[in-house]
Amino acid sequence: MVLVGKKAPLFKAAAVINGNEIVNDFSLEQYIGKKYVLFFFYPADFTFVCPSELIAFQDSLSEIEKLDTVVVGCSVDSHFSHLKWLQTPLNQGGIEGVTYPLVADQSHMIAENYDVLAGERSFSETGEEIFEGTPMAYRGLFLIDKAGVVRHQVVNDMPLGRSVEEAIRVLEALQFTEKYGEVCPANWKKGKKGMKPTQEGVAEYLSENSK
């Protein structure tokens, strides 16, 4: 399911914030009208690729916050598992030092609503509900603007770690287009020129940048 251009699915769920505090009614709704959101899913706590991603987001958190943006992570683990992982040192496979919120999606409904759950529910011949697949989330990343609309999404299979640098690049591109009304061509980076969304603008850009 492509969510780009649509309102981000909202929810209320337990989460760990500030690395040590459990809240029971965390929601992305608190950011609407105030902040951009980088909302990402990862398969599970205490795994292998996942801590590298969560630490990478933490390492870039100050840069992301300067862009008026918050980072929120989510997996199907419980908030107790999140808390334990957050309290485990890095040299023991933990993510101690991560401060952005981690949402607990034990019902799998958040992952289902964002269409990143690695499997689906079905029914047996006797009418029993069964789950076919892996009841964890793929590595989905969603950039949500201040109006609560998804403006960018990318979903990786579980073995494939994401690029935090690319997430920041797309965030900067979105803010550039909002500020200047220009569009961002291929491989655009902060500091480069944009392109006027006209035939003349395209021709001018290509003539200046073609090799």
Indicate which residues carry an active-site annotation.
Answer: 50
Sequential DSSP letters for 38-100: EEEE-S-TT-SHHHHHHHHHHHTHHHHHTTTEEEEEEESS-HHHHHHHHTS-GGGT--TT--S
How far, in Å, are 75, 117, 120, 134, 145 from residue 110 at the CA level?
9, 9, 13, 15, 19
C-alpha 91/C-alpha 38 separation (Å) is 27
Find out whether 143 and 167 touch, Cβ atoms under 8 Å: yes
Sign of the torsion formed by the C-alpha atoms of 153, 168, 37 and 24 = positive
Contacts of residue 128, defined as CB under 8 A and 6 or more positions apart, other chains included, come to none
